[in-house]
Every structure is written in C-alpha cells, then in structure tokens.
Structure 1
Amino acid sequence: MNRSNTLTALIAAAVLSAAPALAHAVVRTETGAAESMAGASETYRLNVPVEKDMATTEVRLVVPKGVSITRFQVTPGFVRTTKTDDAGLVTEVTWKGKIAPMEYARFFFQARNPAAAGDLSWSIYQKYADGSVVAWDGTDPQLPASKTAVK
C-alpha cells in the first residue's frame, strides 16, 4: 500500500470510529463546550438524536450532585416533569413528546455549577416508541455518560 492509500485508510478509520461518539445524547453548554467554570451560572443544552428507525418518546436526565437547576426553556411539543430532593433541588428531569427518526431535539436549562472543580457525569435515558431504553450512563462502554469538566 502506498503512502497516499495508507493516509486515506487511516483518515477513513478515524472518521468511522468517531462517528458513533458524535451521535449520542449529550449535555453541553449553550455554546457547545464540554467544560465550564466552578460556581458559574451556565445555560446547558441536552442534545438527543434519534438513532433508531422509530421515534424517541421520552428523555430522562439525571442531574449530577452539586448542580442546581434554576429554570428551563420551554420545548414545544414536550411535557416536562421533575423530581426533587428534600432540599427542593432538581435531581431528575423527564421530557415526554416525540422526536421522529432522522431528527434530534435540544432541551435547554440554566443551572449553577458546583463550587468545586471536578467532572460532572450526566446520565441520560432515551426511550423509544417500542418501549426500549438506551441508557447513556456509562454502564456499557458503547453508551458513555455525557461529561462536563468543571474548572
């Protein structure tokens, strides 16, 4: 194999291996960053693409400890419910609605980051029309939890 073919094969392999990682449910800042500042008030977006040949009907987000959600942006076509702890802090958010195949939805919310630096791990559970759930929580290495580095 000549140098040009080797380079082409390496680039193709890199693109193909990165493709699944780009398509999973993730939490990022409003600007798309995977990091934020300790103690900062931040607008986050949960991006959920449909990866099956059927609609997503429910998305559940488990909020990392130390993150304090302060408000949500309205998402037309979805009903949002929350679970809170004894202190009234949001611990889980569920959006019910429909995201059709070949579509994605973004759910925006504002939150205050923990005062200390560290990594936040966002667990996301994507339910499909057939009742199956894809757990983006890291229990399966193919289904990583979304991470935010708080610096």
Structure 2
Amino acid sequence: MFNRPLPLLLALLLPVAAAHATVRTETGAGESKVGVSETYRLNVPTEKEISTTEIRLVIPAGVTITRFQVTPGFTRTVKTNAAGLITEVTWRGRIAPQEYARFYFQARNPDAAGPVSWKIYQTYSDGSVALWDGSDPEKAPASTITVQ
C-alpha cells in the first residue's frame, strides 16, 4: 500500500537532483532513432544566486541542426563549418535565480547508433562558467542522448 508513493516521490525529485543543463527530446526522452528528424529541448536552470546570461551548445558530430524555435528575450548566434553545418549555438539573455529556460531546436540524428554527447557551457552574470561537457563526469557531466 505504501510502495506506490515512494516511486512517485522519487520521480518528482529527479529533476531537482539532475538540475544541470541537459538536452532531451521534446517529450523529455533520453533516446531517439537513427537518422530521424527530432525536436530537442535544451533545459537550462540557474543554479546560483545570480543570473545566467549566456548558454553555448556544441553540436555533436553527425547531428544536423535544421531550425530553431524563437525564444523570447534571447538572441541567438550560430557558428558553422566549411560545409555550412551548424557546429555551435549561443543564446544570450537572462535567466534569473530559481528560474530555468528551454530552448527548442530541430535536428537530424546521426546515421549510426550510439551515444550522442552534447557539450553545454552556462555563463553567469559574474563571468563564471558552468561546464556541462563531461570534463569532470562527477561534477560536470555532459548531456547524452542514445541514438538507436
């Protein structure tokens, strides 16, 4: 009788425990299909008592960004490679303490199955940068999607 509330409580607390910047599918899934077009969301919570002012997303090899959803209050710039493919996206704006923002974009998944690691760099108003790039798997994990 009391076993059911515990999983529900754990599910509600999971977003708090994993409160770093993450990329997931639009529905929140951590997996997608090989070669398909998918809508992704970059979720960025402010974890300090100061505002987030910039988010930089490095696009993994094999992922092709096709379009972005407008995010009011933010400007977006992109870097491209010689082939014209987007390699980095930077959003500038303000996410206040105890708030988060979601940035939606569409992309075509790689043609091969496996993990896809997204490197995210979150800059705060004091100039400090939170590295969500896997440089320290314990403290700075990269967000990973599994393409199957």
* TM-score, normalised relative to structure 2: 0.89
Q: Hey, what does 2:84 align to over in structure 1?
A: 88
Give the SS at the match of 1:102.
Answer: coil
Query: What does residue range 50-61 of structure 1 map to in structure 2 within 5 Å?
Result: 50-61=46-57
In structure 2, what residue type is equivalent to 1:68?
A: T
Structure 1 residue runs of 5 or longer lacking an equivalent are 1-10
Find runs of 4+ consecutive structure 1 residues off by over 3 angstroms. 18-21
**What amino acid is aligned across from residue 51 of structure 2 in structure 1?**
A
Partner of 1:123: 119
Q: Is the helix fraction higher in 1 or 2? A: 1
Could you tell me how far apart the structure 1 residues matched to 2:17 and 2:132 are? 11
- CA distance in 2 between counterparts of 1:21 and 1:90 reads 31
d(CA) in 1 for partners of 2:29, 2:89: 21
Aligned partner (choices 134, 140, 145) of residue 142 of structure 2: 145
- Partner of 1:115, secondary structure, is coil
Q: Deviations over 1:34-59 (max 9, x none)?
A: 00000010000000000000000000
RMSD of the alignment, in Å? 1.7
SS of corresponding position for 2:102:
strand
* SS of aligned partner of 1:143: coil
1:57/1:142 CA distance change after superposition, 3 Å: same
Query: Aligned equivalents of 2:53 and 2:127: distance in 1?
Result: 9
Q: Equivalences for 1:69-108 in 2 at 5 Å?
A: 69-108=65-104
Contiguous gaps of at least 5 residues in structure 2? 1-6
Q: TM-score by structure 1 length?
A: 0.87
